[in-house]
Every structure is written in structure tokens, then in C-alpha cells.
Structure 1
Amino acid sequence: MDFTDILDSDQPTAKRLKIAISNEEADKVKIENPLSSLEFGNVGIQSGDSIEKINDVFYQQLFQKDEDLAPEPKLLPGAYSQREEALITQESAGEIKFCYVENDGTPQNMMYLTGLKNIFSKQLPNMPKEYICRLVYDRRHRSVALVKRSGTVIGGITYRSFPLQGLGEIAFCAVTSTEQVKGFGTRLMNHTKEFARTKDHLSYFLTYADNNAVGYFAKQGFTKELSMERERWHGYIKDYDGGTLMEFAIHPKICYTQFPDLIRTQRHALDLKIRAICKAHVVRCGLKYFKQHPSSADPADPPEAAGCVSNEVTGTGSSEAAGAGASPDSSNRMTGTVISNISERPPLPIDSIPGVLEAFWTPDQGQLSRCFFVFKEGAVDSSPEALQRLLLLALQELQKNEDAWPFLLPVTAEEVPDYHTVIKDPIDLSLMESRLKQQNFYLTLDIFIADFKRMMNNCRLYNSSESIFYKLANKLEATFNTFLAAHVINLSADHSSVATPL
């Protein structure tokens, strides 16, 4: 998908900023040649400037045109960008480096290739060592070595380049076991893509990934759907039994080692466009309506309420303390304070709240959906009593279902020690039953549905899709959807969330 014309046409610093999101890696955003879209004449940007300087000057000029958008929003980087930036810092400090290596006979490159051969032999035990040696030292192959400050090779990627075809075949990819799960694999692949783009001038990467590596390559933007013509690669790369052929398209204008800067630029541009059409960033003052219209039900301090007369009461209180014409039974005592001479507060019109209309709110959105609950004797209106009856019936149906046994009671730390580390908001049917007995928790059917949905999502989050618990959650959810379809009739086409299946 393309977001074109992100910036308004009257901006002096940019005429067009195109943002392209790759189908293969939706979380890695690419900006097509932002330099070609800028007017360099009067903004203090030269063609050789760094991307940091371009970003600073670019956004200073943008915010000069619309003062109510200042100050510039502070957008926190995501987990991917944070890890990439941490590794970039290590590179800048000289703690690690990524070297483009080929068998040119130089002692340094031969040392790096030998280190890569040892890592591949250890981390890829199913691969014959003779085959690894032949490919790593082959002069037609290229390698990218991850080297620590001490000169030790701790990871790398070896690929064969086919210049005439414009593609490369990744043969080996590994990081030593003691340095895994630190982001080195992603950073290593990004450097490999950048070397392939700038040094080898490749347009595609192909690789046969085994079952254990498919997930890794998918995270790096590789896809099982090949866009290249078969004639372009067939007969050039090796076929491996049991592997999955995956492809990555190398964009000619993307610097793959500067993803955090590209993502930051894109987020700023999108935020700027959102601010132009929406005022969600505006922080408004709190509502003064409730202080201006006090109510006897307010727990607020009475002396601060307009027209409020209060007296401190000790003991049980009296009619004199409550004010003329009042009695102890009719007085409203909040923490020992009696409030009198306060009428009931009229409802606050929603459209009078600042910012509501700007958020495209319409009066019909405030209308409650009209629905009926269906029981054996027929359909009844959705009164609070009918709601409690329906929820009790739904809970009983769930509890006696043969697929509900994992959800009847809460998961304990003795049974699953790390459960509460992963699941921050646990819930089970026994907790839903206790909430239902309170008769003041599930005031709407939506709240009950939200609790049930959270229980199902917790199960699917903690357990793998192949586990029995995951499958039981799907079956129980289908049963609950069937129950809703049979017992809830929603007459409002615009407000159908109550009867909508999960």
C-alpha cells in the first residue's frame, strides 16, 4: 500500500513524500528517495548531508507553518528500532563490526572465512563439513562476518552472487550460540542486504530455509511467494530436499542499515498528516460542568460547590444540623459531611464537550442499541433483570460444556510457574461467576463478552496453536457465539456490537 502526498502541497520544504510499506515486512517502513523530493535552495540542506541533519531541518521548516502543531511530538521507538539503535551504538563504539569478506587470498579475510567455517560447522550440524568448507572458501561466494572488538568472529552469512541474474543465494546463516537472542541475527541480515545492494548490485535474495529457519527469514522480510520469473533463477541455485524456498526483494533506494531513521521519518510524516485532519493531539482542560452544577450524590468537598451549604456532623446527625426542613433519613452524609440545598444535576449534553464534535461524533452514536433477549417463553426487552438472567444462563451453559474444563478455575503458579509473567490480566469462569453474583459488575452484555473474549485470548496467547488448550478455546468460543446468535436479537443496524460474534 502507498501513502502518497503525505505532506500538503503548500509546504515549502517538500512537494511530495512517498512512503511505501513492503508486503514482506510490514513493520519495516521504506521511504522512497526523500532527498529527491526536497527543495534544497532555501532550507539549508545539501545533497551530501547526513540523514540526521535532513530530518532536523526538514521538520523545523514544516512546523514553522503551523504553530498549533508545535512542539514536535516525542514518538517513542518500537522494540525493533530500540534494538537496532542499541546495536548501532555498539558499532559506533567499535565493540562490533560487520565485514564484507571474499576469498581474495589476504590473511585477514582468510582468518574471517576460517572463523565463519567453524561457526557454520558447529551451528549447522546436519550440513557436511566438507560442503561448508567448499562454499565458504569458494571465490564466487561472498560473506558478511560479525566480528567483535577482539577480532573473534561470532556470526555471519555466506551467499553466492549471480551478477547477471541480479540475485544472490544465501547458503549459510548462523550466530554462535552464546551470542544469540541479542538482535545480532537481524542486524547481520540488514548489513548483508546493504552489501548486496551497494557492492554486488543485487535485486533479490533467494534461500532454501529448513523448518527451523523459516520463522527467522520471515521476520527478515522473506516470503514464500516468489515474484521473480522462474527462468531467472531456475538452474542457478541449488535445490535442497525438505527446504522452503523463500525470496526477498532488495529495494535499490533503501539503506537497510538505517531503518530506525527511516521509520522515525515516516512516523513523523504520518503524525503530521494526522494532526492536519484530527485534533486528537490537543490536550484540553478538564470539564468544569460538574463543579458548576453540583449534585447531592457528589463526594466532592461541599464548600467548593456553588450554592452549597454544609455542616459537619458528629454522631448520627439531626434535623437541625442538616438544615431547615431536613431529617436525618433524608440527609446525604459523605465522610461525615451533610449536603443540602442542592438539586439534581441535569445531564451534560455530549456535543457540548470540547473536542467531541471535532472527533466526528454524531448524536446517533449516543443511542443505546435496542435488543431483545430470547428465552423459552419468548423474547423479552433487555431490562437489567433480563440481562442478569441471560448472563446466568450463558455462564451455566459454558460451565457445563465439555470443552470448558481448562477455564473453570484460575491457573495457579504451582501448575504453571511462568503463566502470570506472560498473562498480565488472567480471568476464568469462576471469577466471571463471582462478578455475576455481585449484580453490579456486568451492567451490559458487552462487558460480559469482553471478559469471555479476554479469557479466550489469554489462552491463545500463552499456548501454541497446536496445543489442546488452544483448540478447546476455539471450540468454546464457537459455542458461545452460537449461544449469542440464539438468545440475542439486535434491532439496531448501526449498533450491532452486542449480537456480533466474537
Structure 2
Amino acid sequence: MERDYIAKVLFNPVTKSIIMIQDKKVIGGVSFRPFLEQKFAEIVFLAVSSKSQNKGLGRTILAHLKTYCRSELQIFDLLTYADNKATGFFQKQGFSNRIRIDPKRWKGYIKDYELSTLMHCVIYPKVDYLKLNETIEQQKQNLYHLIQVISNRQIFYSGLCFSEEVKEIPFDKIPGIDKEFATQIKNQYSLQLKPSLKELVDYLKNHPSIWPFLQPVDPHFAPDYDKVVKNPIDLSIIEKKVENLEYFDQIHFIEDIELMCRNCFLYNNKETVFYQSGQAILIAFRKKVKSMKKAKKLL
């Protein structure tokens, strides 16, 4: 801009200015034109001394401008044509290229400038722009306090303790784990694991030696079975547990298959066909698990 144009605008009686002085020298300022009937003001110039830039002075000057417009002029809208290199600065000060006031209020009142962007800022009546940093900090503290009230993130739980007696802790028994959340995690793991476990069940169902384990032991053929075997289980029970997503890890599934075979060994003599079937199933099962792990179907 030419000096004559700048001087003409600055010394126009309509134009008002807010200047910042340090050591009796002007280091920055803003010139603006209030349009009282139209209820907006146009920022014409905003400048800070090159030696004083990057110190937040531009933000401070605009804070005083917003306070003056709100308190003295009852104006709550600012417009400015920002140099394309300055749009980022104005965005940080609450300006936007989305003009939210009726064009009839400002068109024809302000001059259009090339290589610049028209930007709009709303001045909020209840915001103290001179204490904006303190206000934001107070809002952060209030928000943090609210989070503490509704959250348990500030609660610390003791670590997990394992010993020879306690080698495993159920997921939903870990201190701090919400039971509903634990159930969701379990179901997620169970769904991911179900295809692999189903493949193992189908493999065993097709094994020629599986016939003694397909259904619960008939008490007519083994009347004292429940006295010898305290934790009875068979493949039909295991299959239902797979379908009902009761296995959220492979370990418990493997333990149930091995328990099924151990029950067989506990009740039957080595010479019986039942005992031999249990051995065949256990060997085949372990071999299948090993091959699936190698193929990364089981982790």
C-alpha cells in the first residue's frame, strides 16, 4: 500500500486506533473503522514492530480491540481482509473465512482488496479477552476436575501377585477391570478363536477312536463312574462350550480335552479298549494342535 493511502485511512476521522507503547515508542497497533448502525467494525491495519514480533503482541492488541468494541461500542462482529500470509494468525485469534453475518450489513461499506481473504470474528459478550489465558486455564482445571468426578482413572490398583499356589488369575478378577468390559474382551477373543477350536472338535469327531467320548458316560454301564471321576466331561459338552463362546483362550480348551482323556485313564484299566481309545485320541489331538500352531491357526 502507498504511504498516502495509509495516511489517508489513518487520519480519517472515522478511523480509530489502539496503539501499544513501550519505552515511549510505538511498537504495535490496530486501526479499525466502526460502523455503528451496521453493528460491525472493520480492521484496516494491524502491525507490530519487527523487533517485537513472535511475542504475542498481535494477540494482545486484538484482545484490547475486542474488549473496546464490546464494552464501548456494543459491536460484536469484526471483519477484515487478511493478507494471504496472515490468515493463519487470524484463525488463531478466532477469525474464519466463513462470513456469518448478513451481506447487506457490510457489502458496500468496506473496500475489497486483492490477494487477501475476507475473515469474520464473533465477539462473545461473556468472554474476558484480556484474561483469555487465565480463562482457558480455569476451563482446563474445571474439565480435569469433572473428569476426576466421573472417571476412575485416578484410582490405582495393586499389582498382580503370582506364586506356586496362584499361577493363573481370571481376566474378570483382575482389580480395576470392569466386569462388562471383561465380558466384551472375552467374547471378542472367543469369536476369534472359535473357528480353530471348531476345526479341532470336527477333527476329533471324525477320529475312529472317539466313539467312547461323544456323549456322557451312561450310568447303566458304569454305575460308580461319578464316584471315581469328580469332573466328568465329554466331547458334546466341549462342543457346546465352543458354540457358546465359553473358551476365550486355547489353554482351557486343551485342558478340557486332556481332562476327558485323563478321566478315561482314571476309570478304565490299561487293557481295556476304552483306555486304548483315550490314548489314541490324546496322541492324535496333541499332534493336530502342534500342526495348527505351526500353521499359525493357534497362537
TM-score (norm: length of structure 1)? 0.36
Which of the numbers 36, 55, 61 marks the counterpart of 1:188?
Answer: 61
Partner of 1:286: 158
Counterpart secondary structure, 1:207 = strand
User: In the alignment, is residue 165 of structure 1 matched against residue 38 of structure 2?
Assistant: yes
Which of the pair has the greater relative contact order for Cα pairs under 8 Å at 6+ separation?
A: 2
**Does the 8 A contact of 2:157 with 2:176 survive in 1?**
no
In the other structure, the counterpart of 2:98 is 225
Q: How far apart in 2 are the matches of 1:258 and 1:349?
A: 53
In 1, Cα distance between equivalents of 2:95 and 2:48? 19
Map 1:457-476 onto structure 2 (within 5 A).
Answer: none
Instruction: Tell me the distance in 1 between the aligned counterparts of 2:190 and 2:61.
Output: 54
Match status 1:263 vs 2:136 = yes
- 1:198 pairs with 56, 71, 76, which one? 71
Give secondary structure in 1 for the equivalent of 2:130.
coil
Q: Secondary structure at the match of 2:181?
A: coil
The residue aligned with 2:18 is 144
The 2-side partners of 1:198 and 1:175 are apart by 24
Matched, 1:353 2:174: yes
Whole-angstrom distance in 1 between the partners of 2:46 and 2:92:
14
* In 2, Cα distance between equivalents of 1:175 and 1:355: 54
Output the amino acid matched with 1:133.
A
SS, match of residue 270 in structure 1: helix
Q: Are 1:365 and 2:185 counterparts? A: yes
RMSD of aligned alpha carbons: 2.4
Query: Which has the larger helix fraction?
Result: 2
C-alpha offsets along residues 179-221 of structure 1, whole Å, 9 cap, x if unaligned?
Answer: 1111112122112111221122211000111211111111111
For 1:197 and 1:134, how far apart are their aligned partners in 2?
Answer: 26
Q: Deviations over 1:258-312 (max 9, x none)?
A: 1123223322332333233221122x2432x32xx33xxxxxxxxxxxxxxxxxx
Task: Say if 2:98 and 2:120, in contact at 8 Å, map to a contact too.
Answer: yes
Distance 1:261 1:247 in 2: 24
Report the CA distance shift for 1:226/1:349 in structure 2 as closer, same or farther (over 3 A): same
Q: Between Structure 1 and Structure 2, whose CA radius of gyration is higher?
A: 2
Which SS does the other structure have where 2:113 is aligned? coil
Structure 2: gaps (5+ residues): 197-299
Counterpart in the other structure of 1:243:
116
Distance in 2, matches of 1:355 and 1:227, equals 48
Letter aligned with residue 208 of structure 1? Y
Match runs of 1:285-364 below 5 Å: 285-287=157-159, 289-290=160-161, 293-294=162-163, 342=164, 346-357=167-178, 361-364=181-184
C-alpha distance in structure 1 between counterparts of 2:65 and 2:168, whole Å: 63
Q: 1:131 to 1:369 in 2, by over 3 A?
A: farther
Question: Once the two structures are aligned, what percentage of the paired residues are identical?
Answer: 33
> What is the identity, as a one-letter code, of the residue corresponding to 1:160?
R
Relative to structure 1, the CA distance from residue 164 to residue 364 in structure 2 (aligned partners, 3 Å threshold; closer, same or farther) is same
- Residue 5 of structure 2 corresponds to 131
* Deviation sequence 1:90-109 (CA, Å, 0-9, x none): xxxxxxxxxxxxxxxxxxxx
Deviation of 1:362 after TM superposition, in Å, equals: 3.1
Distance 1:369 1:208, change over 3 A: farther
Task: Measure, in 2, the Cα distance between the counterparts of 1:286 and 1:177.
Answer: 57
**Deviation (angstroms), 1:132:** 1.0
**Structure 1 residue runs without a partner (length 5+):** 1-126, 295-341, 373-379, 382-502
